[in-house]
Amino acid sequence: MAVKKPAQKKKPAAKTLVIVESPAKAKTIEKYLGSGYVVKASMGHLIDLPKSRIAINIDNGFQPEYITVRGRAKLLKELQGDAKKSKEVLLASDNDREGEAIAWHLRNSISAKNDVPIHRIVFNEITPQAIKDAVRHPMDIDESKVNAQKARRVLDRLVGYNLSPLLWKKVKNGLSAGRVQSVALRLICEREAEVENFIPEEYWTLDAEFHKGRHNFTSQLVLYRGEKPELANEKSVLAIIEEIRHSDCIVTDIKTSEKTIRPKAPFTTSKLQQMAANRLGFTSKKTMQIAQQLYEGINIGSTRVGLITYMRTDSVRISTVALEEVRKWIGEKFPAELPPEAIEYSVEKKAQDAHEAIRPTYVNYTPEYVKEYLTRDQLRLYTIIWERFVSSQMANARSRTSSIDIAAGEAVFRISSTRVFEKGFYKVLKTLISKEEKEHTLPEISVGETLEVRDFQPEQHFTQGPARYTDASIVKTLEEKGIGRPSTYAPIISVLLERYYITRSNKQLVPTQLGRIINEILVEYFPSVVNVNFTARIEGDLDEVEEDRIEWPSMIGTFYGPFKDRVDEVMNNLGSLKGRLDESTEYVCEVCGKPMLKKLGRFGFFLACSGFPECRNTRSIPLAKCPRPGCGGEIVARRTKGRGKEFYGCTKYPECDFISHFKPINATCPKCGHFLVEKFDKKNGSFKSCINPECDYLHTSDEVPDTSQDTDGEE
């Protein structure tokens, strides 16, 4: 009798391994692909240049010497093991230069251990259809895109690892200089110089309040003796008032004009960061973090959905499928606002156009529909993205402006009103209220009518100087000048803040003393490195590498030779500037009695004992006397725990709990003697205000009153 062999266990079928960059993205994609796939995250770069040395073989065509990133060897080994058990590996890192480089390193590392088939897949949105389409159409890694990333990485390493030791030796240990960040720093420092050198000039305006029936309305003087009035001082305004006070006020002209207002293109990365900064008060970094969350996937009920397309793009292109979907939605909800044909927006020549514009993945997921599933900030950002995209394919709006001229002697006053009479694309812009929508009702008036003047209202003003850069305006400038790319705008600002080369004050970017010194050195001794046009040309060269038009080693070689010669020359000939950062003061160390020095640290200036290292006593620099009666303490800069946000408090805390969130300046109030603080709002711009809540002193001019206190330097 034959013995029956036991049934062997069936070996489970091998699966396809998909490697993405982040766990959130992995979670979303795994739900879309089903049981035949395993999705793992690389957590960004696993292979990169070491931090401890330059790691560029200059004599061998500038080849980089890559290593496994410290702390990532275990993850890399796990991915190699997962690949060995798989029938295929699909590399699904982001569809940009950095993502291509990540895929390239993963392919090389995995193929060195086994011969599993490895392919690249790319997608612009994380939706079931997009992911499945990408899986059905795998491709090879784009070597030219990898070379562009390699060239940028090598170039930045050569600049940083040559300039940083120079700064350590000549200025202060621990400093660093980056290629693109240094250009941004120069722009911010130059703007600060313009702000400081600006001298405000006085000028006046003159309004007249007219009356007809139940209506009172105010109009502004626009012509005097046939010309635009130049009202330099109060005397000139009062002279006009005296001249026309008893003149008849007659309506001389009524004009009406119409204007077509076209919708704007969907967002690019730069435009999204600008809008989020201006409308929502977001930093560029915060905007990109939230956009990443919306892109990688949000749980909408039981379904996980990537709500927006890829958020790093400089193109306004929209796919045919997305255009058909949005036009169908507009036709159902706002049929009167659907243009006969889809609206096309021109793509700038310098745009990479690898991605679409930033748009919602499903137009049916309106902000109202997804509201309950999103955080407040996620909803606010998603809303402006959704509205901008939908409105971009809607009909134009039309506005009508009416203006009335009223003559009083040789003076002409004018009042205007604008009304949107065809809303068009404005019908979906619930959060983006345009100035064209503001309406002012004018009374029914005819030419030749005589009006009663109730009052003349002269008002003093001062010309406003150039505004400091904000996140929005620096990103706009970088984009216009061709500096950086969509993926670098937010990191540029973050790096400058982290290095304490700039600070944020009232959402404005202000260079620190350290930042100014670094900028002075770079501008004087390395003008080409921080030259805006040169940096833009480098970006163009990197694009040429990506398009396989030039070889990256030759591009690097053209730059490096003259640059390295200049570094060596400055290192040998420039004297130390460290003395500029240490200043003597009248303060005495309360520990050992030696003089205290004003020194520059990670978060600005502070006092340190000149007896260092024997005495390590330090303390904050007093900025002002405490305003609390009888306290006798001094106001110093402090930082909150956790986020490290700066505020100003008394040195006698906790006995005295006085704090201010506004920075004291080196001046006292001419009214009450308390110290002044610097504030900012949209109406007045930067201005000085008294810290005393019972004092109403306000100084809107950039000229600080000459009431200096005897204090030592800035914070």
User: Can you give the residue ranges of every domain in the chain?
Assistant: 16-141, 152-198+470-573, 202-262+397-462, 275-391, 581-699
pLDDT at 706 exceeding the cut of 70: no
pLDDT at 184 exceeding the cut of 90: yes
pLDDT at 703 exceeding the cut of 90: no
Q: Under CATH, which number does the domain 202-262+397-462 receive?
A: 2.70.20.10
Q: Under CATH, which number does the domain 275-391 receive?
A: 1.10.290.10
Provide the token pair at 111: 């193929």
- pLDDT, one tens digit per residue, over 296-311 is 999 998 889 999 999 9
Name the residue type at position 316. V
Residue with the larger pLDDT of the pair 312 and 637: 312
Q: Which residues of 429-465 are buried (b: 16+ CB within 10 A; e: fewer)?
A: beebeeebbeeeebbebeeebebebeebebeeebeeb
DSSP code for 277: I
Measured CA to CA in angstroms, residue 379 lies from 38, 293, 375 at distances of 31, 11, 6
pLDDT at 200 exceeding the cut of 50: yes
- pLDDT, one tens digit per residue, over 612-630 is 999 999 988 888 888 888 8
Catalytic residue positions?
A: 310
Which secondary-structure segment (H or E) carries 457? strand 450-462
Q: What is the mean pLDDT of residues 634-647?
A: 75
- pLDDT, one tens digit per residue, over 431-471 is 544 444 444 567 788 999 999 899 999 999 988 889 999 99
Q: What is the mean pLDDT of residues 508-518?
A: 90
pLDDT at 713 exceeding the cut of 50: no
Closest Cα to residue 679, out of 665, 658, 667, 659?
665
pLDDT at position 646: 76
pLDDT at 491 exceeding the cut of 70: yes
pLDDT at position 5: 60
Closest Cα to residue 434, out of 451, 447, 452, 420?
420
Residues 6+ apart with CB under 8 A from 135: 16, 18, 33, 90, 121
Residue with the larger pLDDT of the pair 381 and 626: 381
Query: Are the beta carbons of 56 and 157 closer than 8 angstroms?
Result: yes
Q: What is the mean pLDDT of residues 138-160?
A: 96
pLDDT at position 620: 83
pLDDT at 1 exceeding the cut of 80: no
pLDDT at position 699: 60
Q: Under CATH, which number does the domain 16-141 receive?
A: 3.40.50.140
Confidence band for 705, pLDDT divided at 50, 70 and 90: very low
Confidence band for 663, pLDDT divided at 50, 70 and 90: confident
Q: What is the mean pLDDT of residues 488-499?
A: 93
pLDDT at position 644: 62
Q: What is the mean pLDDT of residues 518-532?
A: 93
Helix ranges restricted to H, 315-410:
320-333, 367-370, 376-391
Confidence band for 674, pLDDT divided at 50, 70 and 90: confident
pLDDT at position 99: 95
pLDDT cut 90: percent of the chain above it: 69
pLDDT at position 103: 97
pLDDT at 341 exceeding the cut of 80: yes
Average pLDDT of every residue of the chain: 89
- pLDDT, one tens digit per residue, over 581-600 is 778 888 899 899 999 998 87
Confidence band for 352, pLDDT divided at 50, 70 and 90: low
Closest Cα to residue 377, out of 300, 274, 270, 280?
280
pLDDT at 708 exceeding the cut of 80: no
Residue 658 has φ and ψ, to the nearest 5°, of -65, 130
> Which architecture does CATH list for 152-198+470-573?
Orthogonal Bundle (1.10)
Sheet holding 16-20, edge to edge: 37-41, 16-20, 88-91, 118-120
Provide the token pair at 320: 């045919």
Q: Which residues of 151-173 are buried (b: 16+ CB within 10 A; e: fewer)?
A: bbbbbebbbbbbbeebbeebbbe
Confidence band for 208, pLDDT divided at 50, 70 and 90: very high
- pLDDT, one tens digit per residue, over 267-292 is 999 999 999 999 999 999 999 999 99
- pLDDT, one tens digit per residue, over 79-127 is 999 999 999 999 999 999 999 999 999 999 999 988 999 999 999 999 9
Q: What is the mean pLDDT of residues 659-673?
A: 79
